């Protein structure tokens, strides 16, 4: 496809991007390059990939708005040029005119004031500088009052000098000298252990020389000389004992103090992280436009050309579908945003504006409130039996539906890397057994039955309780969400950008270059590598298994990242940032050549036929299994045993006021056309079973045979999967 073609002439594709904190720097260059070849219909991502997906959706929205407005082809492409410039700006200085300081990328992850010491300690530890990490941690603890007693003990200076001498003259001495000076400002070192030992040895030599002289001059006076020597040794021993006892007491006092203060330091860290929702940075601060949330909000609005806060409804109006993954820690499961209406909790997620004011700009919060409905919205004064104790339960707003949910909110819910970014609090409401109205507790609410037939509203006996839940990074449950747009028959190419962390830098490559996914083996030689492999296996097993399926690897570009590139390296140099941007462009060029140019090997035409073969085989396998269990002669008896609940009926044991179970089909309620359809399914299943074979050239083939290398092609199977 010619990069300069009009947007409506470009082929349409879907795109999924992987998460990776600062590794997301690869995406702006890749998206700008891909935007010259394709139009994007469905876009998905998680964590840093969610940030890139939101920016791409905004850019595509701006391009579609310009196209529908009659703009020229170059003008339509302006949002993608701005997206490319945005990537370049990440390597620029955070403070204009300052060289050698933090970059714009580093400014996105700036910590909150209360957690800055912990942030700098963690950064130093990741740089391999434990002395600087310890200095930052203890400095933060001293500022918070956790090390006050340690300061007082070291202020006398008795242990400061000997501690430095025991540590030696290496870099630890140089690193800890200012640290002890911080803990004991103005302290005067009173000598060292080596100095004390030298003075004691000198005194012993002098006493021994004097005794020898006395013995040689007055031989008869052996007893007096020996007594003098013993007396001198006793006096010296008493002095040394007194000196040592003082040091031992000081060391014991310091040990007890450090034990107490270390616990206080840990308690201070726990309290600080808990108050900050278990993160070093909320991503937002008033007057700090360089942090992640205001930075992303500003660019979303600029790329989309939208006057009001950009929502999923604005994207849908331009034919763009955006899906982002987040993780609910309290329920141990992922959610896909925006929530589909068939998700169980789609209408049972609530937020509190006063809580979210710490995370989002005022205009975004106003759009959230305006697009949602307040829970228990009947005015309190109009509710019979209402008491002031019920007031805390009335300040919840339901998470807006798709058309009114701001894109920024979903992106921030997905990009909440544990401990780096704060988790976001939401709330669930649970129905409990009936309680009398007098059992109302603080923070709990009651529902009120609406007035019917002229009757006044009355207190309903159903008790509702509000439970707080925390949402964190989407990469915890699905860091490479290929399943977002999974469908048996693909309508268009599903391109994917995958990040591969390697021990050395390597070129970008297609995962299915030779028609088969070759997984990378992680070398495990140290306990740290073992722990990392455990965590990655728990997080990535499902995502990695999807790459082995036919059609997935052939559409995935793998971007290899060597040491120091991406990940948690928040302080990457401008050169490293430009290297990542270049890798992203390289991956986009490979995908653009394969799927933007007709007739390419493993291009879209061949891929459609390849996927069709596997879909037909999987469908045949499902029909055979269906016929085995649901033979036509078994259906009448089985369906008559199925309970049938009419809409509006209550079942025994059901809570009053809750919706009754959905209508269930029964053998006596099926129509003639439905029975004909069941007959057709049974006949099709029997035909598939009759022609089913095991060869690779058969349409309804069983699992492929093993090849000479002891491998065989991976196969999927059609099964029920809940909506996320």
Q: Which phi-psi region, left, alpha or beta, contains residue 82 (left: φ > 0; alpha: ψ -120 to 50)? A: alpha
Residue 418, number of CB atoms within 10 A of its CB: 15
For the chain, helix, strand, coil in percent to 5 are 50, 15, 35
Contact 23, 567 (CB under 8 A): yes
Select from 111, 5, 17 the least CA-distant residue to 485: 17
Contact 111, 281 (CB under 8 A): yes
Stated as kind and residue range, the H or E segment containing 428 is: strand 424-432
Q: Is 84 helix (H, G, I), strand (E, B) or coil?
A: helix
Whole-angstrom Cα distance, residue 674 to residue 379? 49
For the record, the structure tokens of 681 come out as: 């399914």
**What pairs with residue 328 in β-bridges?**
333, 471
Catalytic option among 473, 478, 543, 548? 473
Select from 27, 22, 53 the least CA-distant residue to 584: 27
Catalytic option among 14, 23, 47, 304? 47
Cα 424–Cα 430–Cα 431 angle in degrees, nearest 5: 165
Q: Where are the alpha helices (DSSP H) in 222-371?
A: 222-275, 292-304, 312-317, 353-356, 362-370
Q: Is 212 helix (H, G, I), strand (E, B) or coil?
A: helix
Contact 31, 59 (CB under 8 A): yes
- Pairing state between β 458-472 and 445-449: antiparallel
Q: Is 285 helix (H, G, I), strand (E, B) or coil?
A: coil
Select from 595, 597, 619 the least CA-distant residue to 608: 595
What one-character DSSP code corresponds to residue 578?
H
Question: Has 473 been annotated as catalytic?
Answer: yes
Whole-angstrom Cα distance, residue 138 to residue 128? 17
CA-CA-CA-CA torsion sign (44, 46, 47, 49): negative
Task: Specify burial of residue 557 (Cβ count, 10 A radius: 0-12, 13-18, 19+).
Answer: buried
Q: Which phi-psi region, left, alpha or beta, contains residue 193 (left: φ > 0; alpha: ψ -120 to 50)? A: alpha
Whole-angstrom Cα distance, residue 514 to residue 428? 48
Residues 6+ away with beta carbon under 8 Å from 697: none
Residues taking part in catalysis: 47, 473
């Amino acid at each position: 496809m010619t990069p300069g073609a009009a947007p409506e002439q470009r082929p349409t594709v879907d795109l999924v991007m992987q998460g990776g904190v600062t590794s997301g720097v690869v995406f702006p260059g890749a998206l700008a390059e891909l935007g010259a070849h394709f139009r994007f219909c469905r876009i998905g991502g998680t964590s840093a990939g969610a940030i890139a997906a939101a920016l791409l959706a905004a850019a595509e929205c701006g391009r579609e708005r310009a196209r529908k407005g009659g703009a020229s082809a170059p003008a339509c492409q302006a949002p993608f040029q701005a997206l490319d410039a945005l990537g370049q700006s990440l390597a620029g200085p955070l403070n204009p005119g300052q060289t050698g300081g933090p970059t714009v990328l580093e400014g996105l992850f700036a910590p909150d004031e209360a957690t800055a010491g912990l942030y700098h300690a963690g950064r130093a530890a990741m740089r391999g500088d434990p002395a600087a990490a310890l200095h930052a941690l203890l400095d933060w603890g001293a500022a918070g009052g956790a090390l006050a007693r340690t300061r007082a003990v070291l202020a006398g200076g008795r242990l400061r000098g000997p501690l430095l001498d025991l540590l030696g003259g290496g870099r630890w001495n140089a690193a800890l000298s200012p640290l002890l000076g911080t803990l004991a400002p103005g302290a005067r070192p009173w000598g060292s252990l080596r100095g004390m030992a030298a003075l004691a040895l000198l005194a012993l030599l002098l006493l021994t020389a004097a005794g020898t002289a006395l013995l040689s001059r007055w031989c008869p006076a052996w007893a007096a000389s020996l007594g003098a020597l013993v007396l001198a040794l006793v006096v010296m021993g008493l002095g040394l004992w007194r000196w040592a006892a003082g040091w031992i007491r000081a060391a014991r006092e310091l040990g007890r103090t450090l034990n107490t203060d270390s616990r206080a330091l840990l308690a201070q860290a726990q309290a600080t992280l808990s108050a900050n929702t278990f993160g070093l940075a909320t991503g937002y601060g008033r007057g700090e436009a360089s942090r992640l949330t205001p930075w992303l909000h500003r660019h979303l609005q600029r790329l989309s050309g939208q006057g009001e806060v950009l929502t999923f409804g604005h994207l849908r109006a331009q034919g763009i579908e955006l899906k982002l993954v987040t993780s609910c820690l309290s329920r141990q499961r992922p959610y896909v945003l925006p929530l589909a209406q068939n998700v169980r909790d789609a209408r049972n997620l609530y937020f509190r504006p006063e809580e979210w004011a710490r995370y989002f700009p005022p205009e975004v919060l106003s759009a959230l409130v305006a697009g949602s409905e307040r829970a228990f919205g009947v005015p309190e004064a109009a509710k019979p039996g209402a008491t002031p104790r019920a007031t805390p339960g009335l300040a919840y707003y339901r998470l807006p539906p798709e058309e009114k949910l701001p894109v920024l909110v979903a992106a921030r819910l997905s990009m909440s890397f544990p401990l780096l970014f704060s988790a976001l609090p939401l709330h669930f409401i649970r129905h409990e057994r009936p309680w009398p109205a007098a059992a109302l507790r603080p923070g709990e609410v009651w529902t009120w039955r609406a007035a019917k037939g002229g009757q006044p509203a009355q207190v309903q006996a159903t008790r509702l309780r509000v439970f707080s839940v925390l949402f964190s990074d989407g990469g915890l449950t699905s860091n490479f969400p290929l399943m977002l747009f999974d469908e048996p028959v693909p309508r268009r190419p599903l391109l994917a950008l995958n990040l591969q962390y390697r021990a050395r830098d390597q070129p970008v490559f297609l995962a299915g270059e030779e028609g088969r996914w070759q997984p990378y083996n992680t070398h495990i030689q140290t306990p740290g590598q073992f722990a990392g492999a455990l965590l990655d296996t728990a997080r990535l097993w499902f995502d990695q298994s999807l790459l082995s399926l036919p059609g997935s690897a052939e559409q995935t570009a793998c971007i290899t990242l060597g040491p120091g590139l991406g990940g948690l390296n928040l302080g990457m140099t401008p050169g490293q940032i430009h290297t990542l941007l270049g890798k992203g462009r390289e991956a986009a060029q490979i995908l653009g050549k394969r799927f933007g140019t007709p007739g390419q090997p493993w291009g879209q035409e061949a891929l459609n036929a390849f996927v069709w073969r596997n879909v037909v085989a999987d469908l045949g396998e499902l029909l055979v299994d269906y016929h085995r269990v649901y033979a036509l002669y078994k259906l009448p008896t089985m369906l008559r045993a199925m309970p049938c609940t009419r809409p509006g009926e209550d079942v025994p044991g059901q809570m009053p006021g809750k919706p009754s179970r959905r209508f269930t089909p029964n053998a006596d309620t099926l129509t003639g056309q439905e029975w004909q359809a069941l007959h057709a399914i049974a006949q099709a299943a029997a035909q598939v079973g009759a022609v089913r074979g095991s060869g690779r050239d058969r349409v309804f083939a069983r699992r492929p045979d093993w090849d000479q290398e002891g491998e065989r092609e991976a196969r999927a199977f059609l099964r029920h999967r809940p909506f996320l």
